[in-house]
Structure 1
Amino acid sequence: MVTRLTKARPRGGRWLGVLAGLAILLIAIATLMMAGAGPAYRGELISLGEAFNLLRNGVYAAGGAVTVSIITLLWSMVARRSTPALVASLVIVAAAALLYVPWQHWQRAQQVPAIHDITTDTQNPPAFEALADAREAAPNAVDYPGDTTAQQQHAAYPYIKPLILAEAPQTVLAAAQAEAEEAGWRIARISDNHIEATATTRWFGFEDDVVIRLTDVENGVQVDMRSASRLGASDVGTNAARIAAFLTSLEARLK
């Protein structure tokens, strides 16, 4: 009599492996969509609306990956299968890391006003001259938006103020130029008391224009600055952060 030996089927069957594979596929798709949206728009392969749709669909795919992973993890615990459980756990961690940036961006958007033009001098903002034509061609205006924006700025960013430096104007100008160049800004014009440049965001390549104005005062030189986005109603705090970082670095450079 011949006894046939059969290999025991793992608890949970092959479906646990299928679910784990599906979770991996969904998180891979989500990563490609979310990571590729910015570069695709920056490379002019898709429109801004299409890029945002990619981001949105990437979030949905990441959410789907989490859902499938939770089911896989719970089923694996019941079936006592360690490999699918490990895969599901790793996918959940990857999804959390992937969703952190858009979640943080959304959180910041809820906390700041929907403005995109920030300046240290809301009464007499530094004017765009060399970049006026480029801004005319963009959706956002060349001129400063006015009192409503100023009031919102003062409430949200009270620390955005002029910088007074006890240095010679040419020394401050040279330091400001060096800071702008180190930041990777594209300089459009430099005069005796005025610098205009364009800063480009890393991911989507959005262009924000910057003006730095130097004014002689009794105690030295007053540095005023303006940073304004060409596109979008809200900059999500980007321009205020740029001004604060620049003036802090400029002051440190001249100490």
Structure 2
Amino acid sequence: MVDLDDASRRRVHPVALAGLMLALLAALLLFLSGPGTRMGFWHFRTAFKMMGWAAYAGGAAALVSIAGLALARGRGRALAAAGLVIGALMLYLPWSWRNEAMKYPGIHDITTDVANPPAFVAIAPLRKDAPNPPEYAGDSIARQQLEAYPDIKPLMLAMPVDSAFTLALETVRDMGWELVDQNRRDGRIEGTATTPFMGFKDDVVVRVSSASGISRVDVRSKSRIGRGDVGANARRIRAYLDKLRQSDPAPVRAE
């Protein structure tokens, strides 16, 4: 004799299944958005739209899964619970990223020397088709940087310029940036950093100069696309200077 109650528990309620499928679709949209941009399958603006679609789909999945929890029994409830968790997470992640982005100023060119920022030379031709030109915009962004990132300052190294240049070059390689050019005579090192998720290209120039018998290291990091950078360029400069400072046997405080 067939146990109808046991059979109903084994049968998955379609609402619970729909909630889970919708949640998985949201996850697919979200986690393919960045790699797809990085591999050139679609424009970065399409990726941002996909993140928005993922948030909407995640919210819908959470609501459907709540209904699934009320309607389903047995294994269906487990699927509804999974759909609720995944859907809520897909709604939360884009929302949290957007809120985090709003904390930062809408600038994408950060430097330790706002009065005389290091200039891009070898990288300049690589940016000819980029929406953001290689030139520094001046006071319009300098004021915003000084307010948002007052800690971004030059690093002073108690060593000759030639030794500081060698150390700065080694540190560029340690950071994993693509080395574009090095000019020991000018004290200039240029490289390109690629963001891990979206594959955005941000260019970096390091300038090593003499300062009253010791060496001064200035860094500039600028995004090729986008109005803001969600603090990425400032974090990159901090990470570089911290690594450089740790490699210096006799560090001097930043100016």
Shift of 1:97: 4.0
Partner SS state of residue 118, structure 1:
strand
Identity rate of aligned residues, in percent?
Answer: 38
Quickly say closer, same or farther: Cα 1:86–1:209, change in 2 above 3 A.
same
Residue-pair matches, total: 247
Q: Could you tell me how far apart the structure 1 residues matched to 2:76 and 2:160 are?
A: 67
**Structure 1: which 5+ residue stretches go unaligned?**
none
Shift of 1:140: 0.4
| CA offsets 1:166-217 (integer angstroms, 9 cap, x no match) | 1222322222222222222111110111100011111111100001001111
The reply to whether residue 134 of structure 1 matches residue 126 of structure 2 is yes
| Alignment partner, residue 237 of structure 1 | 231
Opposite residue 8 of structure 1, the aligned amino acid is L
Which runs of structure 2 are paired with 1:2-81 in the superposition (5 Å)? Answer: 5=1, 7-9=3-5, 17-76=13-72, 81=73
Partner SS state of residue 40, structure 1:
helix
Match of 1:123 among 81, 91, 115: 115
| Alignment partner, residue 252 of structure 2 | none
| Alignment partner, residue 169 of structure 1 | 161
| Alignment partner, residue 83 of structure 2 | 91
| CA offsets 1:82-109 (integer angstroms, 9 cap, x no match) | 4333322223333344445433321221
Quickly say closer, same or farther: Cα 1:137–1:25, change in 2 above 3 A.
same
Q: Could you tell me how far apart the structure 1 residues matched to 2:140 and 2:53 are?
A: 35
Opposite residue 231 of structure 2, the aligned amino acid is G
Opposite residue 223 of structure 1, the aligned amino acid is V
CA contact (8 A) 1:16 1:72 kept: no
Shift of 1:229: 0.4
Q: Could you tell me how far apart the structure 2 residues matched to 1:97 and 1:173 are?
A: 46
Partner SS state of residue 252, structure 1:
helix
Partner SS state of residue 208, structure 2:
strand
CA contact (8 A) 2:104 2:231 kept: yes
The reply to whether residue 206 of structure 1 matches residue 200 of structure 2 is yes
Partner SS state of residue 184, structure 1:
coil
Quickly say closer, same or farther: Cα 1:7–1:109, change in 2 above 3 A.
same
The reply to whether residue 108 of structure 1 matches residue 90 of structure 2 is no
CA contact (8 A) 1:31 1:58 kept: yes
CA contact (8 A) 1:164 1:219 kept: no
| Alignment partner, residue 221 of structure 1 | 215
Quickly say closer, same or farther: Cα 1:132–1:91, change in 2 above 3 A.
same
Shift of 1:123: 0.4
Opposite residue 189 of structure 2, the aligned amino acid is I
Opposite residue 117 of structure 1, the aligned amino acid is D
Quickly say closer, same or farther: Cα 1:171–1:92, change in 2 above 3 A.
farther
CA contact (8 A) 1:214 1:223 kept: yes
Q: Could you tell me how far apart the structure 1 residues matched to 2:9 and 2:15 are?
A: 11
Q: Could you tell me how far apart the structure 2 residues matched to 1:16 and 1:6 are?
A: 18
Shift of 1:69: 1.4
Opposite residue 104 of structure 1, the aligned amino acid is S
Partner SS state of residue 217, structure 2:
strand
Which runs of structure 2 are paired with 1:146-185 in the superposition (5 Å)? Answer: 146-185=138-177
Quickly say closer, same or farther: Cα 1:219–1:95, change in 2 above 3 A.
farther
CA contact (8 A) 2:54 2:90 kept: no
Rg comparison, structure with higher value: 1
**Structure 2: which 5+ residue stretches go unaligned?**
250-255
Q: Could you tell me how far apart the structure 1 residues matched to 2:54 and 2:93 are?
A: 13
Quickly say closer, same or farther: Cα 1:142–1:178, change in 2 above 3 A.
same
| Alignment partner, residue 249 of structure 1 | 243
Shift of 1:6: 5.3
Q: Which deviates more from structure 2 when the two are superposed, residues 201-210 or residues 211-220? A: 211-220
Shift of 1:32: 1.5
